[in-house]
């Protein structure tokens, strides 16, 4: 009974963190859009806009294509949201407080990021339409390009901890945060985060040049579910990034969960600004940069972290 109760509380905590984080990202996105456009920031509009967009999507009629894969269409957002929840469950909130604490939390998080490719491909495959399928294949090229830089950036954070546990990775940052110890790691991680979350300049599978890509045939509830799942993945990436590079719950005066929330909000704000301040990258340019630039920089980051440890 106690185990079942603990599991239920853990699921509720993860769901609550994703919901609150998604709402915070929506507010940050509205504020970033106004700031980049030079428009006045109206608090009422800032608070109402995310709910207005959600209501508009939910009240729009859902359309379908000819002979779609109904099972795949329902599974894609569920799988993406489930991967976000799995990643979020690895997040240490305070000393001894973590929804799940496997000794290989690093590997679980990396696997969740890798399986995003399946969710996106399924989302593009299921409408039985040309442009969504094109977007799905496009994400395949993107995912193969960012996996190695992502793994190397995360591996560098595991070296000081000498462990694959995210709890140990946070504890190892007590004397010095990883963002200072290995300054190349966080920028590489955030670039990968934008690609994983299909966000801003790296929203290549759902880009405008494909009329929405994998989401081109989405409307109504289906579109809202996909957007909610994608936002959840961005929140999970930001939260785990705060743990891996910014010390997680470590900080003076404030309780650990507050520090986690503040650091996660900081990374979400950076992503929100990137969405409106940076132009969308061309896929061939991103693939080239990922292999030619990000992989060597990620390797250099590992060497720097190892030398610092020695």
How confident is the model over 211-237, as pLDDT tens digits? 888 888 888 888 888 989 999 999 999
The pLDDT value recorded for residue 71 is 84
**pTM value?**
0.90
- Which of the listed ranges 35-44, 91-100, 170-179, 213-222 does the model predict with the highest average pLDDT? 170-179
How big is the chain, counted in residues?
Answer: 310
Q: Which is more confidently placed, 134 or 70?
A: 134
Angle between helices 2-37 and 220-245 (to 10 degrees): 100
Distance CA 302, CA 265 (A): 26
* Domain ranges, residue 165: 2-309
**pLDDT surpasses 70 at 8:** no
Please say if the pLDDT value at position 26 is more than 70: yes
Distance (Å) of CA 273 to CA 28, 37, 180, 194: 8, 11, 22, 12
Q: CA-CA distance, 238 to 76, in Å (whole number)?
A: 21
Give the pLDDT confidence score for residue 238 in this predicted structure: 93
CA distances from 125 to 8, 180, 194, 222, 223 (A): 34, 42, 22, 14, 15
What Rg do the C-alpha atoms of the chain give, in angstroms? Answer: 19
| Average pLDDT, rounded, for the chain | 85
pLDDT of residue 6 exceeding 70, the answer is no
Average pLDDT over residues 49-61: 75
Of 102-106, 125-129, 187-191, 302-306, where does mean pLDDT reach its minimum?
102-106
- What mean pLDDT do residues 107-131 have? 90
Domain count, the chain: 1
């Amino acid at each position: 009974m106690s185990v079942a109760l603990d599991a239920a509380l853990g699921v509720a905590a993860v769901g609550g963190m994703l919901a609150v984080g998604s709402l915070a990202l929506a507010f940050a996105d509205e504020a970033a859009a106004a700031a980049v456009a030079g428009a006045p920031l109206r608090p009422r509009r800032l608070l109402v806009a995310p709910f207005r967009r959600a209501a508009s999507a939910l009240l729009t009629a859902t359309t379908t294509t000819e002979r779609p894969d109904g099972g795949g269409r329902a599974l894609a957002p569920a799988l993406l949201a489930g991967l976000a929840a799995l990643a979020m469950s690895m997040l240490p909130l305070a000393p001894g407080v973590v929804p799940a604490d496997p000794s290989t939390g690093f590997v679980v998080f990396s696997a969740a990021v890798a399986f995003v490719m399946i969710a996106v491909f399924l989302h593009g495959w299921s409408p039985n339409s040309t442009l969504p399928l094109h977007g799905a294949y496009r994400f395949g090229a993107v995912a193969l390009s960012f996996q190695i830089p992502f793994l190397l950036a995360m591996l560098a954070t595991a070296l000081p901890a000498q462990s694959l546990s995210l709890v140990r990775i946070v504890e190892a940052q007590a004397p010095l945060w990883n963002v200072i110890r290995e300054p190349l790691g966080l920028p590489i991680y955030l670039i990968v985060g934008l690609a994983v979350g299909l966000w801003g300049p790296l929203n290549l599978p759902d880009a405008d040049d494909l009329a929405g890509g994998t989401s081109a045939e989405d409307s109504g509830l289906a579109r809202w579910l996909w957007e909610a799942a994608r936002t959840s993945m961005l929140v999970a990436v930001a939260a785990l990034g705060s743990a891996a590079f910014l010390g997680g719950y470590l900080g003076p005066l404030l309780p650990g969960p507050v520090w986690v929330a503040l650091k996660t909000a900081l990374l979400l704000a950076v992503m929100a600004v990137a969405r409106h301040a940076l132009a969308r990258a061309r896929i061939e340019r991103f693939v080239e940069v990922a292999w030619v630039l990000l992989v060597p920089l990620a390797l250099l980051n590992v060497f720097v972290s190892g030398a610092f440890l020695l």
